[in-house]
Amino acid sequence: MVIEVDQLIDYHLIKYKGFINKEKRFYAEQNADSDFVDINLFLTSSDIPVFNIRRGEGTGLFKPAKYILTDQHGNTARLEMLSYWKTHYQCHYNYKVYDIYAHRGLKCSIFENRKQIAWWDKERISISYADNYFMIANNDVNQELLIAFCLAYDDYHFEPAEYRRHFIRDKIKLSIGNIFFEKRKFDKNWKANKY
C-alpha cells in the first residue's frame, strides 16, 4: 500500500491531504495561530476526527518529543521519543508496541511488536514550507495510526507550526534530515505484504 501525506500552509490553518494508493482518503487540520499543537485527522467521508494529535507538555527544541494520540473511540496513546540523538520513538496502542526509527537522511521505519510494517520518506525540497511524505506500508496496518505518527513526527522535526506561520508563502525549504546517529539502519530489502 502506498500512503502519501501532503501539507498545505495558509496563514491561519495548516492542512494535510492523505492518499491511499492515489485515492484521497484522509485530511487533517491544525490551527496555525494556536499556542499548542492540536491536529485533527479525518476520513474524507466524515467530519468526526479519527485521531487527534496533541503535543505533550515539555516538548520543545532539544527536549524529547511527547504526543498524545486520541482515536475516535476515546482511546489514548502516548507517542514518546526514547532517544533524542538516535531519534527513536515508541507508542503503546491497542495492546501493541510501535517503534519509529529515523535513519540517516529523511527516511523512517515503523515497527509493530518488533516487526517492520512500513517506512516513509520525506521530500528533500518543499515550497512554502509545506512538507510531503511518501509511505510504503503493509496492507493490513492501521492507516490512520501511521498517518498520525507521520503528522506528529513532522510537527516536531520539521519546523513546528508556530515557526511556519511567520514565513512567506513562496519560500523554498531544503531538509537535510538526520545527519547524526541512528539506532537502527534502514532495511533496503524490506517489502510490504499484499494481504
37 vs 160: CA distance, rounded Å? 8
Asked whether residue 71 is domain-assigned, the answer is yes
Q: What are 144's three cell numbers?
A: 490512520
Per-residue pLDDT of the chain (195 residues; tens, 9 = 90+): 898 887 776 666 778 888 999 999 999 988 766 667 789 999 999 999 999 999 887 766 667 788 999 999 999 999 999 987 888 999 999 999 999 999 988 899 999 999 999 999 887 666 655 678 899 999 999 999 999 999 998 887 755 544 544 554 556 665 666 667 888 999 999 999 976
Asked whether residue 192 is domain-assigned, the answer is no
DSSP character for 56?
P
Q: How many domains does the chain have?
A: 1
Asked whether residue 34 is domain-assigned, the answer is yes
Asked whether residue 23 is domain-assigned, the answer is yes
Q: What burial letters (b/e) apply to 104-143, b meaning 16+ CB within 10 Å?
A: ebbbbbbbbeeebbbbbbbeeebebbbbbbbbebbeebbb
Q: What are 135's three cell numbers?
A: 509511505
Asked whether residue 184 is domain-assigned, the answer is no
**% helix / strand / coil in the chain, to the nearest 5?**
10, 50, 40
Asked whether residue 185 is domain-assigned, the answer is no
Q: What burial letters (b/e) apply to 18-46, b meaning 16+ CB within 10 Å?
A: bbbeeeebbbbbbbbeeeebebbbbbeee
Q: What are 30's three cell numbers?
A: 491544525
Asked whether residue 97 is domain-assigned, the answer is yes
Asked whether residue 111 is domain-assigned, the answer is yes
Q: What are 131's three cell numbers?
A: 512538507
34 vs 103: CA distance, rounded Å? 31
Range of the domain at 11: 2-174
87 vs 182: CA distance, rounded Å? 7
